[in-house]
Structure 1
């Protein structure tokens, strides 16, 4: 998700552009859209699309109308319209692709109430914006202490300042509804700004904060995943995963979003599989399904009286037995079908040296046979003693 020159330097900033994630190519940012129309010119007489996409802190993106016909490109810092005052953001997309993004986000391009871009940010705007961004961590810490003193069951996860520094949005998570009116009064008095509280879900919290998952890569929600579909334990059951909450839960404490990635493939493969609740009637006894291997198309069955003795049957063999059972016919035994599936595996590697044996050092060392010269010396010593 980063440009080629953005390896980390000693000070924590990217080594190449040194813009700390705000490079002109916008390749270091979350949910980046590649502008593949940037090198193409418009047809004669066509006017460029007058809306642009602007990114703010983390993954928050909004669309603004370029009513002043400013010459904007990706990476420009602009001052945008807000409910009160102005905000500062970075242009992430311009041109015809903005129309596609607006349609995807269900934002009307002909909406007259669409906010506007005031101007390109001046150095004064940028300095004030950076100053406010530097205060966010300290204010987040103090606001958490205030919430603890008021004994509110909530967690303030992130703070976002408006570009002009007159307003701050506090993002929080909570299990139940929280009465934070007193908290807003205390924070407004302590910080001297307008306060807006916005509740988010646990997945949205992980999206804003980011992190590294158990797979060793960055979280999908903080890099490319834009919609959160519901994930249930049925997805883990279909994929025959262990129903261990500690392994199935992500950084947000909810079920991992990646459980849905391969679910459609498993559901498609399980269409031709017999149900795991199916029973096989044989002359030897009743058999139940114990295990299923979707990729090998193999099912293991065991008799009711012998649950520890499993027999491997193919999917077609199970269907054949079920068809015969529907006709009230019993097969002789499962061993007949399982014997057809046993293949003599060719020995690919044979250990003739014994060097890979784990117990080779535990064997007692053999005594070397004494040579002929040693025997002769021992015989001479014995004869001299007898003499």
Structure 2
């Protein structure tokens, strides 16, 4: 049965490892709670996972097809197999670490995972450059007698898998609640008024901190409601210039105009912006007779100016109507339009239908008529008329008249 994108689908959230991405699965008619251990069907076969949420419905367009199903809740036998795989993973990690040192490979092993059915072992590692680990794979396959896979990951993925504490003292965001990594730019640090020292805005992985991305929207909203630096503002203590912003506390530091050595702190609600930003050449002067500002950041209302009556210009008619005597029935005036001023060079017909003769311009004595002058100029600029014989291009020779010329 085909489901339209507008309909909702019941899913359950499944997580394979702590800190890894959460996937949607079909509950297959079963009810699950957060923390339940389940066996699910994946592209790699049956896998062991943990429910990160109970059953809920989402839009069909948010589901990545095909939506695989949950096979069953984990039994006691499944729990024993999963525990044995954890022991195998620790031994596989130690063995792989020794083999890497023996082969002298420039790579850092991160973790090892054993499939639920024991069909393969997957090793994650990081490296600065491309590594040739073909001999290492052969050596590990001879030790574990199963399929071996080595997968290279980035430093951010390593921090997410290993976990740890950030400079804020809390667990890594990527290992706690972030599913995907979003691009982070240095412009976000500038917007949030942070120090551009790489050691202060970088995480343990060496990349820009992930919190810069999901806090960007909150900072942009705070910036819209705060004055810019070097803005000229009016405060309850007088006028001054903004020298520093505290976006999170919604406070500003103002250098007072009367005493430049004094810097006072005011809430955003207690100031009024007279000029937002640095002064420019074409900015109008700030009026000096403004009403004093009150404690809530508002001025006393100005008296309303008396309203002046609106003058309407007289309406002018473009066309006029006249009642004339015609063959039409009486009482119906005929619409006539004002006559246009005739052009100087226009020749109107006479009443008898003939056109008046065109007046020739006076020319100096001895000068030839204009037509003759134009004819002489045209003759001098006329290009010779070269004629070709039919089929003249075939033998590569022009006409005789052309050769004579």
TM-score (norm. length: structure 1): 0.54
> Structure 1 residues 236, 92: closer, same or farther in 2, change over 3 A?
closer
1:214 to 2:180 alignment: no
Rg larger in 1 or in 2? 2
> Structure 1 residues 51, 290: closer, same or farther in 2, change over 3 A?
closer
Query: Once the 2 structures are TM-superposed, how far is the Cα of residue 133 of structure 1 from its aligned partner?
Result: 0.8
1:78 to 2:30 alignment: no
Could you tell me which of 132, 135, 153 is aligned with 2:85?
132
3-state SS of the aligned residue for 1:326? Answer: coil
> Structure 1 residues 260, 91: closer, same or farther in 2, change over 3 A?
closer
Task: Structure 1: state its 5+ residue gaps.
Answer: 1-47, 279-288, 302-308, 330-335, 341-387
CA distance in 2, matches of 1:79, 1:87: 6
Task: Structure 2: state its 5+ residue gaps.
Answer: 1-7, 232-240, 265-270, 293-405
Q: Cα deviation per residue 1:206-234 (whole Å; 9 max; x = unaligned)? A: 22222122222222211122232222222
Could you tell me which of 78, 83, 100 is aligned with 2:58?
100
Larger relative CO (CA 8 A, sep 6+): 1 or 2?
Answer: 1
1:62 to 2:23 alignment: yes
1:202 to 2:163 alignment: no
CA contact (8 A) 1:54 1:64 kept: yes
CA contact (8 A) 1:129 1:165 kept: no
CA distance in 2, matches of 1:327, 1:78: 69
Residue of structure 2 in register with 1:322 after alignment:
279
Q: CA-atom RMSD, angstroms?
A: 4.2
Q: Cα deviation per residue 1:231-282 (whole Å; 9 max; x = unaligned)? A: 2222222333222222222122211122234433444455675577x9xxxx
CA distance in 2, matches of 1:273, 1:66: 52
1:159 to 2:112 alignment: yes
Residue of structure 2 in register with 1:174 after alignment:
127
1:193 to 2:193 alignment: no
Alignment of 1:295-314 (within 5 A): 295-298=250-253
3-state SS of the aligned residue for 2:279? Answer: helix
Higher helix share: 1
> Structure 1 residues 264, 138: closer, same or farther in 2, change over 3 A?
same
Query: Once the 2 structures are TM-superposed, how far is the Cα of residue 132 of structure 1 from its aligned partner?
Result: 0.9
CA contact (8 A) 2:9 2:59 kept: no
CA distance in 1, matches of 2:153, 2:159: 10
Q: Cα deviation per residue 1:363-385 (whole Å; 9 max; x = unaligned)? A: xxxxxxxxxxxxxxxxxxxxxxx
CA distance in 2, matches of 1:320, 1:91: 52
Residue of structure 1 in register with 2:213 after alignment:
260
CA contact (8 A) 2:16 2:48 kept: yes
Could you tell me which of 224, 227, 232 is aligned with 2:185?
232
CA distance in 1, matches of 2:33, 2:219: 44
CA contact (8 A) 1:76 1:91 kept: yes
TM-score (norm. length: structure 2): 0.52
